[in-house]
Amino acid sequence: MSDTKAEIRLPTQELRDDIPFFTKELGMRLDMIYPADDPRIAVFTGHGLRIRVEKDAPEQPGTIRILTDNPDGFADGKRALTAPNGTRIEIDELNPPLVMPETVHSFVVRRLADQAPWIIGRAGMHYRDLIPDRLGGAMIASHIRIPDGGPVPDMVHYHKVGFQLIFCIHGWVDVLYEDQGGLLRLNAGDCFIQPPEIRHRVMEASDDLQVIEIGVPAEHVTKIDHDMELPTPNLRPDREWQGQRFVHNLAEGAEWKPFRLPGYISRDTTIAENTKGMAGVQVIRRGKGEPAWTTHDVDIHFTFVMQGTVTLEGEGREPYAMEAGDACVIPPGMKTRFANPSEDIEMLEVTLPGTFRTEIVG
């Protein structure tokens, strides 16, 4: 098999000025220079790049980003430089820390009937945004579907995220997870907690698979792992990733208990326990008694209607008739009530953190 290399060409007007910059400032290696009597082309390699600097080349100078685990020790700590040929050099973290934006609280109602667009995203999946303002970047909630079942064109990957929930609302999907054994199937009503950076791969889905995916923060990086093969040989159900354990919670056989809101019952998905209180996930159904007006003090409170109908009443707001596919976010301190629930009502509630106070106010 023949050796193959790729290089980026950059322009210059005076090559002799660029050589010391690329070698001394950026720590790259000069591999080639010619012609000898009046050099017009130099080739540098380093930091995973091969760069050809050529006098009077037609390209724009462009930008090179150098990522390092010690940016303060690179180029005397400068974060931006300009090469003599005009190329901008940006120095940044190789593995930047996860930034959790402060929540911008708002009252949000998102209806399926509003016909929000479905966007084709990663691995051909269709995404519908359930929180358009994303609470200032604190959270993303997506309704995801795969219309045509079969093998999914996915790769082993992971997410640099603080919290991530996958809750199946229709169909089924098979997924492989690092250190969790073989194929795990998610059926309607089941959920996964994907701890930060756990490797996984979506393998196959039914026709019309639909899931709700919650991610914190809203913008997070997905990275492909080209080296790991799944399934991994070890079964480690108690392993933690950044303090969180993997959860595969099943709807079948779940125990239903009185919910903190009057008039409802719920089943706990064990997510608060397995994330050490970072988040809580409850499935809610109609119970005994009448719904009451309440307030809460939790930072993020998201609800998705999976089936049935309910009226969301908010202090100073017109009532919202909600049905399957609708979602809402209720900010802390706002007086609300889930009134007139149908007998078949089923809602998904996600809160961050998982422990908070609810007060009945009427």
| pLDDT, tens only, 125-178 | 788 999 988 999 999 999 999 888 999 889 999 999 999 999 999 999 999 999
Residue 57 CB burial class (10 angstroms; 0-12, 13-18, ≥19): middle
- Fold of domain 8-93: 2,3-Dihydroxybiphenyl 1,2-Dioxygenase; domain 1 (3.10.180)
At 123, the pLDDT band (50, 70, 90 cuts) reads low
Mean of pLDDT over the chain: 94
Beta partners for 348?
283, 304
pLDDT value at residue 122: 66
pLDDT beyond 90 at 113? no
pLDDT value at residue 100: 87
Question: 327, 239 in Cβ contact below 8 A?
Answer: no
pLDDT value at residue 107: 94
Task: Report CA Rg, the chain.
Answer: 26
Question: 31, 23 in Cβ contact below 8 A?
Answer: no
At 96, the pLDDT band (50, 70, 90 cuts) reads confident
pLDDT value at residue 69: 93
Question: 8, 83 in Cβ contact below 8 A?
Answer: no
pLDDT beyond 90 at 119? no
For the residues 352-361, what does the mean pLDDT come to? 95
For the residues 310-325, what does the mean pLDDT come to? 95
Cα separation, 134 vs 221, in Å, equals: 16
| pLDDT, tens only, 247-292 | 999 999 999 999 999 999 999 999 999 999 999 999 999 999 999 9
For the residues 287-302, what does the mean pLDDT come to? 96
Cα separation, 327 vs 119, in Å, equals: 18
pTM score, whole prediction: 0.87
Distances (CA, A) of 79 to 71, 73, 108, 121, 242: 7, 11, 39, 32, 29
pLDDT beyond 60 at 1? no
Homologous superfamily (CATH) for 108-249: Jelly Rolls (2.60.120.10)
pLDDT value at residue 43: 97
| pLDDT, tens only, 206-258 | 999 999 999 999 988 999 999 999 999 999 999 999 999 999 999 999 999 99
pLDDT value at residue 207: 94
Distances (CA, A) of 180 to 8, 237, 345: 42, 6, 33
User: Are both 108-249 and 257-360 of the same fold?
Assistant: yes
| Domain ranges for the chain | 8-93, 108-249, 257-360
Q: Hey, is 71 helix, strand or coil? A: helix
Task: Specify whether domain 257-360 bears CATH 2.60.120.10.
Answer: yes
**pLDDT > 90: percent of the chain:** 88
